[in-house]
Amino acid sequence: MSYNSFGHIFRVTTWGESHGPAIGCVIDGVPSRLPIDEADIQHFLDQRKPGQNRFTTQRQEADQVKILSGVFDGMTTGTSISLVIENTDQRSKDYGDIKDKYRPGHADYTYMEKYGIRDYRGGGRSSARETACRVAAGALARKILGLGIQVKGALVQIGDKKINQDNWDWDEVSNNPFWCPDKEMVPVWEKYLDGIRKGGSSIGAVIEIHAIGVPVGIGAPIYAKLDSDIAAAMMTINAVKGVEIGEGFNAACLTGEENADEMYMDEDGRPALKTNHAGGILGGISTGKEIVCRFAVKPTSSILTPRKTVDKHGKDTEIITKGRHDPCVGIRAVPVGEAMMACVIADHLLLHRAQQG
């Protein structure tokens, strides 16, 4: 049992509060002799970093990662890898207001009830700041995946505005501040989010993550299913309320004829699936097609409209969450979703090796 760890063999343990001295993680089970340095990790951290445009929180964090163990002469040694990121922009004064009041939609109340104490500064442990550690771990996971397996994510819905899947262009994703793969949707979201932001409001989103190049046979029945591990991983990300694989909830509307992916022998003489309704996984094991996962992120509950709540003394009151917030936290969840997918696939690759005779 571990409350702050995930993964079976590739196992990540995270620690740290939003406004403590630092956050970090320990990554266990990484095979030896993988080349890695801080820049490799920093690359992904920079993608998640806040304050990069007007659609993400203006909190400024250098988010500089340091490797404290497990790497020697530029290579992993097979021992536990400790990564640390110092908290540099803590501005604790911003948060003094929430010391006693429970912010609706946040974990303030439930943490207090569970533990009888909470680090209220910036949400403490429940802050999305923790996800920086996941992104760092994801960079290690990608080293295990190697060049053959790519993990990529995109934002596919903000509010009720969904992208047109026919316009999907991976190259477009890095051209806009939304990780949007549909060029035509970018100006729509831009305008829409500006309205949300100026109104001091927030809005939800849906993220889609693909793992490309995963060979057939990765994963395991029954309780270590690849899709179950992906669902668990995504649902641990702050504010995530739903996860689906392939057709997902739409599968409820399909008939057996529509949903099952027919098979054929491909040009290389290998069995293959014609379609990918299954999202790359059958019986918990990869089919060789792209693994496709979507998850829904709720709107942040930090908004400028006063909301009714209670304080820790048991009094009814109101709260306005001042400070610097994201109008759509889903945007910054893209690299986090990618990282979690990379970690799960890496973990199952290692597990797969263990079972090979």
Binding residues for NADP(+): 48, 54
Helix (H) or strand (E) holding 60: none
Nearer to a second copy, 136 or 297 (CB): 297
Among 93, 171, 267, 314, binds a second copy (CB under 8 A): 314
Could you tell me the smallest distance in angstroms from the CB atom of residue 168 to a second copy? 18
Please report, in range form, the residues annotated as the binding site: 48, 54, 125-127, 238-239, 283, 298-302, 324
Rounded-to-integer distance, Cα 198 and Cα 292, Å = 34
Is 93 exposed, middle or buried (CB count within 10 Å of its CB: 0-12, 13-18, 19+)?
A: exposed
Among 55, 132, 286, 346, binds a second copy (CB under 8 A): 286
Could you tell me the smallest distance in angstroms from the CB atom of residue 136 to a second copy? 14
Could you tell me the smallest distance in angstroms from the CB atom of residue 65 to a second copy? 13
Rounded-to-integer distance, Cα 20 and Cα 12, Å = 20
Rounded-to-integer distance, Cα 277 and Cα 279, Å = 5
Among 231, 331, 339, 344, binds a second copy (CB under 8 A): 231
> Does residue 228 interact with a second copy by CB under 8 A?
yes
Nearer to a second copy, 173 or 340 (CB): 340
Among 36, 41, 45, 81, binds a second copy (CB under 8 A): 81
Between the alpha carbon of residue 345 and those of residues 138, 297, 348, the distances in Å are: 10, 22, 5
> Does residue 276 interact with a second copy by CB under 8 A?
no
Among the listed residues 157, 87, 95, the one whose alpha carbon sits nearest the alpha carbon of residue 122? 95
Among 36, 206, 334, 339, binds a second copy (CB under 8 A): 206
> Does residue 170 interact with a second copy by CB under 8 A?
no
- Check the CA dihedral 268-274-276-280 and report its sign: negative
Could you tell me the smallest distance in angstroms from the CB atom of residue 343 to a second copy? 11
Among the listed residues 213, 345, 227, the one whose alpha carbon sits nearest the alpha carbon of residue 295? 227
Among 98, 214, 282, 336, binds a second copy (CB under 8 A): 282
Please report, in range form, the residues annotated as the binding site for FMN: 125-127, 238-239, 283, 298-302, 324
CB proximity list for 77: less than 8 A, separation 6 or greater: 32, 70, 71
- The DSSP-derived string for 148-198 is T-EEEEEEEEETTEE--GGG--GGGGGGSTT--S-TTHHHHHHHHHHHHHH
Could you tell me the smallest distance in angstroms from the CB atom of residue 268 to a second copy? 11
> Does residue 20 interact with a second copy by CB under 8 A?
yes
> Does residue 196 interact with a second copy by CB under 8 A?
yes
Nearer to a second copy, 59 or 277 (CB): 277
> Does residue 216 interact with a second copy by CB under 8 A?
yes
Phi/psi region, residue 163 (left: phi>0; alpha: psi -120 to 50; beta: rest), is beta
> Does residue 201 interact with a second copy by CB under 8 A?
yes
Site for a second copy in 105-164 (CB under 8 A): 105-107, 109-111, 113-119, 124-126, 130, 157-160
> Does residue 338 interact with a second copy by CB under 8 A?
no
Among 60, 79, 88, 164, binds a second copy (CB under 8 A): 79
Please give the structure tokens belonging to residue 188. 């729509």
Residues binding a second copy: what is the number (CB under 8 A)? 154
> Does residue 41 interact with a second copy by CB under 8 A?
no
Angle at 291 between CA 27 and CA 204, to 5 degrees: 80
Rg of the chain taking only CA atoms, in angstroms: 21
